[in-house]
Amino acid sequence: MKSANYGMYILLFSLLPLLSNGQSAAWEYQLIVESKNQYNHRDKASTVNKGNRMKIDELSSITELYPIVTAGNDWDGLLNTLQAEGNLTNYNFDKDSVRFTFRELYTRFSWKESHHWTVGKKRLDWGTGMLWNPTNFYIQKDPFRTQNRLEGIFQLHYTCLFTTGSLEVYVFPEKKMEDFSYSLKYNYTGERMDASVSFLEYTRYQQAGYDVSYGGDRFIAYAEGVFRNYSRSCRVGKEGELILPRNRTARFYSEIVSGASYAFNASLGARLEYRFREDCLKREEVADFKKYLPQNSIIYDPVSVGKHTLYASAEIKDIYDRFNLQIRTFFDLFSNQLIVSPLFVWKKNNFQIELSSMLFTNSLAVFNSQTALLLSCHF
């Protein structure tokens, strides 16, 4: 669905009530600029990117501008909110490589804080996993930078809040009525824990999901999982042939994420996260995948191609949260893909610098290393 087409309608739809009572409408503006410059040290022996068939440059840059506008108006308990988050992206400082999208563009009506109706493009906030969220069927985070602003999905969303939880109904429209997706989600909050169950009707497929998290004095433990009768992963046949998701045997696949974080003190913390994907490559399939590269490179994932992935990180930070140093590690138990990634973050007022490096240590890797400098500023 072309969200931009709907964007203007939503904008107008929202502005009319806001402007009709303009004196009490509250407008807020924010501008965020992020620039990431990266050095890509290619692995010339890479089997995935033989002869640099992916056409990866040694230096790359991406500059993003996010203008954010929020407006709110209250009529005797009925609150109307408009949120517009634009994104102007430029690649490699090339003037022909500029594009504009709305990351979010929605309007919400809230009745007495208990009932919320949302129409428009909005990010989905499903799941408790820090890096991976199998319940979020629409978009996955970049595990190397989880705080990236993700793209929203066009939706009609109703939430009913209770003191111990909430019930959510989603409709995700598409061009044809038969392609619409629907979802129902129930969230519960209890003593030190919260949990949710969800069911999704995704065109002709179904997905049932759950997530749960528990909070202690110094630690957080969480788990999230889905069972679904579709797959987005390709498989490798015995002869090395690629089996596309739509041709895979119709059956239920599970994907599970579990993790925990621990704060030793104000300066030191650690996190572990594990992901299991039933529809990804088994150990013996990894060998076939490697054997028939680069024809099967569509399966390639820089973090992991196998069923089991482990993530571990340790963080040392200044007690005033002005800077922090993280060491992050990703490991695929079947393909032995190993990535070690140090990250240094320095903050001063509304300005932030991130220096990160990713060191790849496997023949599957496209790079020997990637080093990035990211500058961001909030106004």
Site for other proteins in 25-44 (CB under 8 A): 30
Query: Does 135 sit near other proteins (CB under 8 A)?
Result: no
Query: Does 145 sit near other proteins (CB under 8 A)?
Result: no
Query: Does 148 sit near other proteins (CB under 8 A)?
Result: yes
Contact region for other proteins (CB under 8 A) — 87-95, 122-130, 203-211, 286-294?
Answer: 122-130
Query: Does 245 sit near other proteins (CB under 8 A)?
Result: no
Q: Which of 58, 96, 178, 217 binds other proteins (CB under 8 A)?
A: 217
Query: Does 237 sit near other proteins (CB under 8 A)?
Result: no
The owner of tokens 């407008």 is 27
Q: Which of 71, 130, 200, 299 binds other proteins (CB under 8 A)?
A: 130
Question: What whole-number distance in Å separates Cα of residue 40 and Cα of residue 60?
Answer: 8
Query: How far apart are CB 147 and other proteins at their closest, in Å?
Result: 6
Contacts of 268 (CB under 8 A, 6+ apart): 314, 315, 316, 317
Cα angle 348, 376, 4 (rounded to 5 degrees) comes to 145
Q: At 361, which helix (H) or strand (E)?
A: none
Contact region for other proteins (CB under 8 A) — 44-52, 154-162, 170-178, 230-238?
Answer: 154-162
Site for other proteins in 42-71 (CB under 8 A): none
Phi-psi label, residue 331: left if phi above 0, alpha if psi -120 to 50, beta otherwise: beta
Query: Does 94 sit near other proteins (CB under 8 A)?
Result: no
Query: Does 187 sit near other proteins (CB under 8 A)?
Result: yes
HEC per residue, 32-93? EEEEEEEEEEECCCCCCCHHHCCCCCCEEEEEEEEEEEEEEEEECCEEEEEEEEEEEEEECC
Work out the number of other CB atoms within 10 angstroms of the CB of residue 142. Answer: 11
Q: At 272, which helix (H) or strand (E)?
A: strand 268-277
Query: How far apart are CB 320 and other proteins at their closest, in Å?
Result: 4
Size, binding site for other proteins by CB under 8 A: 54
Q: Which of 220, 338, 340, 375 binds other proteins (CB under 8 A)?
A: 220
Closest CA to 353 of 379, 374, 326: 374
Q: Which of 36, 42, 108, 121 binds other proteins (CB under 8 A)?
A: 108
Contacts of 353 (CB under 8 A, 6+ apart): 345, 346, 373, 374, 375
Contact region for other proteins (CB under 8 A) — 158-166, 237-245, 307-315, 337-345?
Answer: 158-166
Query: How far apart are CB 178 and other proteins at their closest, in Å?
Result: 29
Query: Does 116 sit near other proteins (CB under 8 A)?
Result: yes
Query: Does 370 sit near other proteins (CB under 8 A)?
Result: no
Measured in degrees and rounded to the nearest 5, phi and psi for residue 138 equal -90, -50
Q: Which of 9, 283, 322, 361 binds other proteins (CB under 8 A)?
A: 322
Query: How far apart are CB 21 and other proteins at their closest, in Å?
Result: 20
Task: Check if the beta carbon of residue 376 is closer than 8 Å to that of residue 352.
Answer: yes
Contact region for other proteins (CB under 8 A) — 42-50, 105-113, 301-309, 328-336?
Answer: 105-113
Burial (CB < 10 A; 0-12, 13-18, 19+), residue 131, is buried
Contact string (CB under 8 A) for other proteins, positions 74-93, x = contact:
--------------------
User: Coil, strand or helix: which one is 16?
Assistant: helix
Q: How many residues does the chain have?
A: 379
Query: Does 198 sit near other proteins (CB under 8 A)?
Result: no
Q: Where are the alpha helices (DSSP H) in the chain?
A: 3-20, 283-291
Burial 245-254 (b: 16+ CB within 10 A, else e): eeebeeeebe
State the residues that interact with other proteins by CB under 8 A: 30, 108, 110, 112-114, 116, 122-125, 128, 130, 141, 146-150, 159, 161-166, 187, 189, 191-194, 213, 215-220, 222, 261, 263, 266, 318-322, 347, 349-350, 352, 378-379
